Amino acid sequence: MTRRPRQYDLIAFDWDGTLFDSTGVIVRCIQLAVADVGGAVPSHDAAAYVIGMSLMSALAHAAPDVPPERYPQLGERYRHHYLAHQHDLTLFEGVIPMLHALRGHHHWLAVATGKSRVGLNEALQHMELHGVFDASRTADETAGKPNPRMLHELMREFGVEPERTLMIGDTTHDLQMAVNAGCHAVGVSYGAHEHGTFAEFQPQFVAHSVAELHQWLVRHA
């Protein structure tokens, strides 16, 4: 039986909350960092909302009462708390088989994340995922989400058109980036943002588990 043609040549994944089960830890680290510098501690939802942004943009949004001159200390305290827990984190169940299946179907795979380059490289090394992704972009080496530059750079790297590119993420920042880049998107509901907020971005699908995401990609990607 002849296999149907691919719909997408390039599939870009967000990292935290999409592949990596880190939302709860990130929220707690944001709250602790804000408390450390004397700011009003954000609620769980307010801290979760900023996940996916570049670090300092996220912290500034989560702690609007903290003056800009304290941002360096705020960032240092966040990194302190996150580093204490980063190796307790793991991939969502089913991520590795899904990625290997996509590679077997000859998709290019990329990561587009609000993490720093150092943070992503450490996570990839800890998860033994170096070599699984063909490319990646981080917020400290290009524009942060929802600016489309990450996706523009990845598409240019592989010579792929927007209609042949799929962005997968757990936040409205991810989906807005895809819209801004002219790409299709899939949302996942098990990460940082409530999936009820996804509708305005018209994702192709919303997956409620990695298993659901894997099944949809096999059928549609």
Tokens representing 215 are: 């099944």
User: How many other β-carbons are positioned within 10 Å of the β-carbon of residue 94?
Assistant: 14
Phi, psi dihedrals of residue 200, rounded to the nearest 5°: -65, -20
Question: Residue 35: CB partners within 8 Å, gap ≥ 6?
Answer: 41
Query: Residue 1's pLDDT is what?
Result: 41
| Rounded Cα–Cα distance for residues 107 and 101 (Å) | 9
Please provide the distance, in angstroms rounded to a whole number, between the alpha carbons at the two ends of the chain: 18
DSSP character at residue 164 = G
Helix, strand, coil % in the chain, rounded to nearest 5: 50, 15, 35
Q: What is the pTM of this model?
A: 0.89
Query: Residue 4's pLDDT is what?
Result: 57
Residue-range domains of the chain with CATH: 10-22+89-220 (3.40.50.1000), 23-88 (1.10.150)
156 burial (CB, 10 Å; 0-12 / 13-18 / 19+) is exposed
Q: pLDDT digit of tens for each residue in the chain (221 aa)?
A: 445 568 999 999 999 999 999 999 999 999 999 999 999 999 999 999 999 888 889 999 999 999 999 999 999 999 999 989 888 889 999 999 999 999 999 999 999 999 999 999 999 988 888 789 999 999 999 999 999 999 999 999 999 999 999 999 999 999 999 999 999 999 999 988 888 899 999 999 999 999 999 999 999 99
| Rounded Cα–Cα distance for residues 184 and 163 (Å) | 7
Query: Residue 194's pLDDT is what?
Result: 86
